[in-house]
Amino acid sequence: MRKKSKLFLINGSILTITALIMRFATLVFNVYISNQIGSEAVGIFSLVMSVYLFFVTVATSGLNIAVTVIVSEKFALSKEKIAIKAIRTCIFFSLLLGLTSSILIIIFSNFIANNFLHNMVSNKPLFYIAIGLPFIAMSSCISSYFSTTRKAYKNAIVQVFEFLIKIFATIILLKLNISKGVEYICISLILADVISEICSFSLIFILYVIDIKLKKLDNVRSFGQRINILKIAFPVALTSYIRSGLSTLKQLIIPSQLEKSGLSCSNSLSKYGIINGMVLPIIFFPTVLINSYSSLLIPEFSTYLAQKNYKAINYISDKIFTLTCSFSICICSIFIFFSNDLGLAIYNNLETGYYFKILAPLIFFMYVDNVIDCILKGLNKQVGVMLCNILDLSVTTCFIYFLLPIYGINGYIASIFISELLNFSVSLFQMFKYSKIRINFVNWILVPLVCSFMSFFIINIYHFSFVDLTLNLIFNIGLFVIVYISVFVILNVKKKEKWK
């Protein structure tokens, strides 16, 4: 178990470091673009991306989950050839679904542009989205295979390659089109993404072929496990369509409902752009540090479930929740204590700082819920996760529809709180119901809170006061994190000494 835990940590570290570097560079670039094009254009592009994500869901249709579950089970039982047959079937299905989703987005492009994009852009950006969908679908299956077989470094190589292509293409296309208006900005960003997706698929497919040859499984040519794939993917796909459809609908109606509260179309898109396109991406950015480990929990727990090794499930769960809760409370504290400075330093805008502080308490629930969802998927409870998301989206979409015309932007903030708290509560209930995981209140909650308050106390006594706002913010946050980690280590050492 120690060897597997070590391999788990190594794979997680590779994915985390890679994702952190890429996400940080992407975030910096997106902040720059947001400051250049303004919150209204950010709002329009966010609407286009919500449509993009829905059709990506149609293209993948739960096949990546099928790969993860079947491969982890078959490899655990030394049935590698059956696993390869399943992967071949999933890749073929993903190609068909990718092409289907491309056709659908083209058919409905005029309807989407006229009814949901506020006539700010035409249907052209949607045509470019259609090109990349088959490649995204097939890449998703192969990526799940590498994650499941604990070869995270190959996904990391592909991610870096994709990132470099995307940044290079984005810079060139934006340089040519940024002065031509919102539509050309959207086209530039989407086309850059499509180019990078095609290139990354080419690379990951080559790595997959090489991996199969090295395992001496390249002689497996037939397809297989169709029934098992459908049993896993179909319910996931069905619930994914509903979940993603509701999510997209929720995003698309927000500006329209804000207009009914008395805001102009421009102001509605601007407010939507600030929260969804500027504030939430910054709040979600630190999740890159835990997302890689979280995604690795799915094949890890699937393997332990197949072996009925509940002791290992409890051991890893305690460790991952201790780290996740400590990390999320630290990040939550930073956004509360430094909200105004963050808003000014990142966007030169106090309004974003206000929303940082308002939404900061949700960080704990967002981050921990992500880990819980991955654990449930690893325990083969994907449908439960999807049903939870559908319930959440149904309730919050109703709140958005009825609250926003009355309470405006405050109604939208309330709907975000309702959404996250409901999702977290239902997911937590499911985890306790389907697993033997026990909550450790001291390690998960009490110790991180003590660390946070101690850090806040110290930085109020010893803090940096540079003239430059950004430099001052970096050093003060750095001091806060150092004190937080130090207190966390000291408390854990003392706790271990106490139990000896």
pLDDT-derived band of residue 119, with 50, 70 and 90 as boundaries? low
Share of the chain above pLDDT 90, in %: 16
80 contacts: CB under 8 Å, gap ≥ 6: 74, 215, 217
Higher pLDDT, 294 or 252: 252
Domain boundaries, the chain: 2-439
- As a whole number, the mean pLDDT across the chain is 81
Higher pLDDT, 178 or 5: 178
Query: What whole-number distance in Å separates Cα of residue 121 and Cα of residue 114?
Result: 9
In Å, the largest CA–CA distance within the chain is: 69
pLDDT-derived band of residue 177, with 50, 70 and 90 as boundaries? confident
pLDDT digits (tens, 9 = 90+) for 207-253: 988 888 877 665 656 665 667 777 777 777 777 788 788 888 888 88
What pLDDT does 118 receive?
A: 65
106 contacts: CB under 8 Å, gap ≥ 6: 126, 127, 130
Is residue 16 scored above 70 in pLDDT? no
Query: What whole-number distance in Å separates Cα of residue 145 and Cα of residue 299?
Result: 10
Is residue 430 scored above 60 in pLDDT? yes
Q: How crowded is residue 152: how many other Cβ atoms within 10 Å of its Cβ?
A: 25
Is residue 325 scored above 60 in pLDDT? yes
Per-residue pLDDT averaged across 138-167, rounded? 82
Is residue 428 scored above 80 in pLDDT? yes
What pLDDT does 123 receive?
A: 82
111 contacts: CB under 8 Å, gap ≥ 6: none
Per-residue pLDDT averaged across 258-287, rounded? 83
Q: Return the closest-CA partner of residue 393 out of 241, 234, 274.
A: 241
Query: What whole-number distance in Å separates Cα of residue 241 and Cα of residue 390?
Result: 10
Is residue 193 scored above 60 in pLDDT? yes
pLDDT digits (tens, 9 = 90+) for 72-82: 776 666 666 77
pLDDT-derived band of residue 29, with 50, 70 and 90 as boundaries? confident
Identity of the residue numbered 234 = F
Higher pLDDT, 37 or 86: 86
Query: What whole-number distance in Å separates Cα of residue 232 and Cα of residue 69?
Result: 8
Query: What whole-number distance in Å separates Cα of residue 236 and Cα of residue 241?
Result: 9
165 contacts: CB under 8 Å, gap ≥ 6: 195, 196, 199, 200
Per-residue pLDDT averaged across 16-41, rounded? 72
Lowest mean pLDDT among 12-21, 54-63, 411-420, 480-489: 12-21
Tokens of 73: 């089970």
Q: How crowded is residue 35: how many other Cβ atoms within 10 Å of its Cβ?
A: 15
Is residue 3 scored above 60 in pLDDT? no
Place of tokens 């072996």: 307
Helices (H), 338-468: 339-347, 350-359, 362-378, 382-407, 409-434, 441, 447-461
Question: Burial code of 195-224, b = ≥16 C-beta within 10 A, e = fewer?
Answer: bbbbbbbebbbebbeebbeeeeeeebeebb
Share of the chain above pLDDT 70, in %: 88
What pLDDT does 195 receive?
A: 94
Using alpha carbons, list the distances in angstroms from residue 358 to 186, 204, 269, 338.
29, 41, 20, 12
pLDDT digits (tens, 9 = 90+) for 70-112: 777 766 666 667 777 778 888 888 899 999 999 999 998 888 8
Tokens of 367: 């981050």
pLDDT-derived band of residue 285, with 50, 70 and 90 as boundaries? confident
Higher pLDDT, 49 or 266: 49
Using alpha carbons, list the distances in angstroms from residue 436 to 299, 309, 379.
18, 11, 11
The answer to whether the pTM exceeds 0.75 is no
Q: Return the closest-CA partner of residue 463 out of 488, 482, 441.
A: 482
pLDDT digits (tens, 9 = 90+) for 125-144: 889 999 999 999 999 888 88
Is residue 372 scored above 70 in pLDDT? yes
What pLDDT does 14 receive?
A: 63
Query: What whole-number distance in Å separates Cα of residue 392 and Cα of residue 390?
Result: 5
Query: What whole-number distance in Å separates Cα of residue 171 and Cα of residue 28?
Result: 13
Tokens of 23: 């996400």
Lowest mean pLDDT among 226-230, 313-317, 335-339: 226-230
What pLDDT does 34 receive?
A: 76
Place of tokens 């994009």: 117
Place of tokens 């540079």: 466
Is residue 336 scored above 90 in pLDDT? yes
Place of tokens 């250049």: 36
What pLDDT does 179 receive?
A: 77
Place of tokens 């497996």: 220
Is residue 293 scored above 70 in pLDDT? no
Place of tokens 């031509």: 180
Cα atoms in the 13 Å half-sphere on the side-chain side of 121: 28
Helices (H), 149-224: 152-177, 182-214
Q: Return the closest-CA partner of residue 40 out of 281, 270, 272.
A: 270
